[in-house]
A and B are shown apart, each in its own frame.
Chain A
Amino acid sequence: MSKGTLRQILLLTDGCSNSGESPVNSAAVAFKSGITVNVIGILDDYQNETDSGFTEVEEIARAGGGISQIVYKEDLSHTVQAVTRQAMSQTLQGFVNKELSNILGKEQSLEEIEPEKRGEVMEMVEDLGETCNLEVLILVDTSASMHDKLLTVQEALIDLSINLHARTGDNIFSIYQFPSKRKNTEVVHEWSPKLESISVIFPKLVTGGVTPTGPAIRDAMYQFGKMELRGSLYYGKKFTEEG
């Protein structure tokens, strides 16, 4: 089996979108083009999970075929990696389920197989999850209220790159912020296998402005296409480094 590539957008936000097209809409479009959208909502200490601003978080993830979590700042690190992992496993399982129904000729999911026989299927999913390539575009909300959360976001992202680095498959990350001064989104960190340099970039990020989550997801989606064109460059560089 050839090594596949999973594409994810990881959206980190602390509230509702208030500008441009509906994020639920653009998440659905992204999902259709093969990119899952996962969302982590970051709570302030005085808020709780049922806060109305966070219903959107779940809706975006559902439309984007991904996973959502709402957490307090302290739990962010652990959550970022758990969500990324679970989303990978979910996507892969989707593929495997599709394969199963191709073989068995009907809608067949893991749950409909006898538990004793699920093991082999799950092993396959785990193998795929370990070896597949992963592309994650991290979309960070930098509206005014995110100001005091950015340091935690930075730590969580470094932690994510450490965690995924231990996989056998290749990983490549990029980070975009929204909004920026003039545009809806702006690149913070270009596609790269590691995120170590972000501790230099993050403290310089300017926060403020509205929250154009919908347009940001759409912009993010196009970045995957762009990378494909540059892909040969990136992998070429990597090979010369190794050789």
Chain B
Amino acid sequence: MAKNLQKKDSFFIRQGTVIEGKWNKKKYIVERKIGAGMIGTVYLCRMRQRLVALKISEQSSSMTAEVNVLKSLNKVQDNRLGPFLLDVDDWESDHDQMYSFYVMEYIKGVSIEKFVKQNGYEWIGVFLIQMLEQLEKLHHAGWVFGDLKNDNILIEGTSPIVRFIDVGGTTKIGRSVKEYSEFYDRAYWHLGTREAKPSYDLFAVVMVILAIFYPAKFKRSKDSKRLLLHKLHSISELKLYNQSLQKALLGKYVSAREMKDEIMHVFVKRQLKDKKKHKNSLTYLVEAIYISMLSGIYYVVSQFIF
């Protein structure tokens, strides 16, 4: 999408290039390119022995706006909302071109679809709850994530944690969403406005899950609502959460908390049921043995009496 906008701003910096900050004088050695957004390109860099992610662009104003968001998110305590900000600076390249950049912690992880495909669909419930938990905190801090999509989510670590990685679309609640991607944008599907409300993110959460099952995505139709609901209901793996996901698509939730609680409820219920089932089969076995033993004894005893 918008490949030309990207083309214009994404330039290539060779491996081994040293990016030295004009103001703070810190040096970063470029390892490789790891991503490109609408605005800016992200490089994996080495700073002394540490790996960091460096986002760089010619558009100083957009970089500054993103830094503002990160600073605000980093202030929210006990939480990993967005990557941790390490440095903000400018770089003058050999060609006298001035770039702005900021440096974040490097989050190493896999995409949600890869993780789910490798480890099983039952993880979807876990990630749904985690995403909603983070969104709840984000909304509470006055922000809407905006450009929530699979490219902007990483699953980190072995006890997996969902991380949101690009705050380019993160917008103050009540304003119009800064950056979005068609497939995840409810206005594209004619199912709401592009105003930054918690429900905007909740819609995108459902699309993140749908994108796992429809990696090639699909386009809107005349009756987009019906199309989306049909796509949602035809996935058996999502049956458990269907009701909640449908409500989120239709903008019925006011807060992430509300959606999380409902999903948590079905999730826990399912877990308990699974356990019970397990327990049931065990007691059944014990009972079966017990009964057969009893009948055996009865048989033996009856042999003696008659």
Query: Using a CB–CB distance below 8 Å, which chain A residues touch chain B?
Result: 49, 69-72, 75, 77-79, 82, 85, 89, 93, 110-111, 114-116, 118-119, 121-123, 125-126, 130, 159, 162-168
Flag if A165 contacts B2 (CB, 8 Å).
no
Query: A114 with B2: in contact, given A89-B61, A167-B176 (CB under 8 Å)?
Result: no
Contacts of A79 in B (CB 8 A): 2, 4-5
Flag if B64 contacts A82 (CB, 8 Å).
no
Enumerate B180-197 residues with CB–CB distance to A below 8 Å: 182, 187-188, 193-196
Enumerate B192-246 residues with CB–CB distance to A below 8 Å: 193-196
Spot the interface stretch: B65-73, B114-122, B157-165, B269-277: B65-73
Flag if A69 contacts B5 (CB, 8 Å).
yes
B88 at the interface (CB under 8 A from A): yes
A78 CB contact (under 8 Å) in B8, B64, B65, B182: B182
Contacts of B296 in A (CB 8 A): none
Q: How far is the CA of A208 from the CA of B254 in the complex (A)?
A: 50
Nearest CB in chain A to that of B24: its residue: A115
Q: How far is the CB of B52 from chain A (nearest CB, A)?
A: 16
B124 at the interface (CB under 8 A from A): no
A-side binding surface: helix, strand, loop or mixed?
helix
B177 at the interface (CB under 8 A from A): yes
Query: Using a CB–CB distance below 8 Å, which chain B residues touch chain A?
Result: 1-5, 7-8, 23, 38, 60-61, 64-65, 67-68, 71, 88-90, 98, 100, 174-178, 182, 187-188, 193-196
Q: How far is the CA of A125 from the CA of B59 in the complex (A)?
A: 14
Chain A CB within 10 A, most for which of B60, B88, B89 = B60
Q: How far is the CA of A123 from the CA of B69 in the complex (A)?
A: 10
Flag if B88 contacts A123 (CB, 8 Å).
no
A-B contact pairs, 8 of them (CB 8 A): A69-B5, A75-B5, A78-B5, A115-B89, A118-B60, A162-B194, A163-B187, A165-B176
Which 7 A-B pairs have CB atoms at the shortest separation, nearest pair first?
A166-B176, A166-B195, A122-B64, A115-B88, A78-B2, A118-B64, A166-B194
Q: How far is the CA of A110 from the CA of B90 in the complex (A)?
A: 12
A/B pair count, beta carbons within 8 Å: 87
Q: How far is the CA of A71 from the CA of B3 in the complex (A)?
A: 8
Flag if A159 contacts B98 (CB, 8 Å).
no
Q: How far is the CB of A69 from chain B (nearest CB, A)?
A: 6
Flag if B68 contacts A78 (CB, 8 Å).
no
Nearest CB in chain B to that of A162: its residue: B187
Query: A78 with B1: in contact, given A89-B61, A119-B68, A162-B194 (CB under 8 Å)?
Result: yes
B4 CB contact (under 8 Å) in A49, A93, A110, A162: A49
Contacts of B174 in A (CB 8 A): 168
Flag if A159 contacts B60 (CB, 8 Å).
no
Q: How far is the CA of A125 from the CA of B98 in the complex (A)?
A: 21
Flag if A75 contacts B60 (CB, 8 Å).
no
Q: How far is the CB of B91 from chain A (nearest CB, A)?
A: 11
Nearest CB in chain B to that of A165: its residue: B193
Contacts of B176 in A (CB 8 A): 130, 163-167
Q: How far is the CB of A229 from chain B (nearest CB, A)?
A: 30
Flag if B23 contacts A115 (CB, 8 Å).
yes
Contacts of B193 in A (CB 8 A): 162, 165-166
Query: A93 with B177: in contact, given A115-B89, A166-B193 (CB under 8 Å)?
Result: no
Nearest CB in chain B to that of A71: its residue: B4
Q: How far is the CB of B93 from chain A (nearest CB, A)?
A: 14
Flag if B64 contacts A166 (CB, 8 Å).
no
A114 CB contact (under 8 Å) in B23, B61, B187, B188: B23
Query: A82 with B60: in contact, given A115-B88, A115-B89, A167-B176 (CB under 8 Å)?
Result: no
Contacts of B182 in A (CB 8 A): 77-78
Flag if B187 contacts A159 (CB, 8 Å).
yes
Contacts of B65 in A (CB 8 A): 122, 126
Query: A110 with B194: in contact, given A78-B2, A78-B182, A167-B176 (CB under 8 Å)?
Result: no
Contacts of A164 in B (CB 8 A): 176
